[in-house]
Homo-oligomer: A and B are copies of this chain.
Amino acid sequence: MSKPEKGSSLYRLRHSAAHVLAQAIMRLFRDVKLAIGPVTEYGFFYDLTTEAPITESDLPRIEEEMRNIIAQKYSISGRRVAKAEALEIYKNNQFKTDIINRIEDEEVSIYSQGEFFDLCHGNHTDTTGAVKFFKLMGVSGSYWKGAKENVQLQRISGVCFETESQLKEHLEFLELAKKNDHRVLGKDLNLFFFSEHSPGMVFFKPKGTIVFNLLVDLVRKIQTKFGFVEIKSPLVLKEDMWHTSGHYENYKENMFFSNAGDEKFCIRPMNCPCAVLTFKNDFYSYNNLPLRMAEFGLVHRYELSGALHGLSRVRSFTQDDAHTFCTEDQIESEVIRDMELAKEIYSYFKFKSVKYLISTKPEKSIGDDASWDLATNALKNALEKLGLPFEVCEGEGAFYGPKIELQIKDFIGRWWTCATVQIDFFLPQRFELEYVDADQSRKAPIMIHRAILGSIERFFSIILEDYQGWLPFWLAPVQFSILTISEKQKDFATSLCSQMQELGLRPEVDASSETISSKIRKSVGQKIPFALVIGAKEVENNVVTIRLPDGKQIQNVGLERLEALRSIRASSELISLFS
């Protein structure tokens, strides 16, 4: 979804809705100064100031007044007026005055409906009666022209659609997104929490830690197959080093400084200098390249507490980072390798689609044009050879090299950048890295930074929302709940649990005295893929009944068959195995 095109019927509808909103507010509040009221992806908003602030509790009566205005079916019409006249009309409104002064024409247009008029470029429905299916969504703060140093405004937002079913569908979708907010799921499923003692730093509870470790294991297993080696390096390095690396100069607002004794340190905000120091510790010839050095690197970056958001915006996180040191000739094949690595890792998830973006040389950059061309072409060639279509973001690369970003789309349709492959001409020079080439000359290697999941914490939040909490079987912290019907099955359940644990499965016994239906409800509430229901019959026949979340059952599964579950990835595989 994106904003409707100017002039389209949906655009006209939402633009009128914004005017109806402004009209209602002017009727209900004192000293209203309108700023701007544009159309958005799902509706509209109006930024304005009033004498007394508008709160969420005002929204119902604003909506009611809007309905009155709509019922009146005011005709909406525009007229052209000279700038001088417009400036006179808006002499008490600094925002409109500013807008008028920036218009190059001699005349501006003003649109009216009933007693209401607004400085406006047009594109409206004929009457206010056209606005039917809308809802106000909230009040938030904004700034004039979006700049913090300017006057603060209030933004009243709404959604608006052409049909009732579209509106209903959208509201249901929002409800779903809210329920599947990873912060809500994290609490409900006992995965993680935050503490005032360490804002923006995650406390993973046992179940969350299982998922975190499984994500690390997955990347470790696959990247090893792709020829990466792993290092483990310090998090705290002397302040001097961060001057050498350029981080102090360019990134200090986001760094955690540290001191102990008389010494000054920084906690690392990025892992790259440690990979560089590890490279520098050994001697390399061209024969040793490419050297693919991975690290599950914990970084700390200071964010204002207002900007923190669950696992997606934190102050410390682990990157599945890697730095490949290679020759210029090897860039293309290494990028192909990284893309194939990403493909294999992403195959464990069910993302709807993946988008590839290449960012090229920005205005301010280091390195000569020939190097940039070579590296940028290597990125393009790699994607072309793999048959992956890409968009080019001209001039949007970092100053030290071009990059590929992989964006994945979640179930709400949001795009997230997870994997990045970044060429770097800069750090190897800054740290004077070198290898000995075939002709015995000393050369600086090229460095390729890459991450596939990106921030493991953020990736966790994305998949949690994407799966609506129903993590795939291989990643579910609890894969089976073993539920006893009565006290008598407790021993059988406990022994079954141990047997399954020995197979490397993750079961959990609920042998409490609650009813089986309550136990099932809990198991489904915890989004556990399968419940194994154990009654007298199961014990007698030494079998289990597998209950799926939708209520379907697979009966008489012999215990010896459970071993087959070790290698399945998705719940559907179990179903086809045993049905």
Contact = CB atoms under 8 A, between A and B. Distances in A.
Chain B CB within 10 A, most for which of A240, A241, A258: A258
A207 to B, nearest CB: 8
A282 B255 CA distance: 32
A416 B423 CA distance: 47
Contacts of A261: 302, 304
A257 interface: yes
Contacts of A277: 195, 197, 203
Nearest to A201: B234
Nearest to A301: B260
In this complex, the member of A212, A235, A315, A501 whose beta carbon has the largest number of chain B beta carbons within 10 angstroms is A235
A503 interface: no
Q: Quick one: copies of this chain in the complex?
A: 2
A276 to B, nearest CB: 10
Contact of A230 (B201, B210, B235, B256): B210
Contact of A257 (B190, B235, B259, B281): B259
Contacts of A212: 232
For the residues of A in contact with B, the DSSP-based class is mixed
Contact of A238 (B190, B198, B302): B198
Given A231-B209, A293-B206, A201 B236 contact: yes
Given A193-B281, A231-B203, A231-B209, A260 B265 contact: no
B234 A316 contact: yes
Nearest to A291: B206
B258 A230 contact: no
A252 to B, nearest CB: 10
Interface in A178-221: 190, 193, 195-198, 201-206, 208-210, 212-213
A282 B208 CA distance: 15
Contacts of A101: none
Contact of A203 (B210, B233, B260, B300): B233
A309 to B, nearest CB: 17
A233 B197 CA distance: 12
A532 interface: no
A330 interface: no
B234 A198 contact: yes
A366 interface: no
A393 interface: no
Contacts of A202: 232-234
A528 interface: no
Contacts of A231: 203-206, 209
Contact of A259 (B203, B210, B256): B256
Given A198-B241, A206-B229, A209-B230, 6 more contacts: A201-B234, A203-B281, A205-B281, A209-B229, A235-B316, A261-B304
The 4 A-B residue pairs with the shortest CB-CB distance in the complex, in nearest-first order: A201-B234, A206-B229, A260-B302, A204-B232
Interface of A: 190, 193, 195-198, 201-206, 208-210, 212-213, 224-225, 229-238, 240-241, 255-261, 265, 267, 274, 277-278, 281-282, 293, 298, 300, 302, 304, 315-316, 501
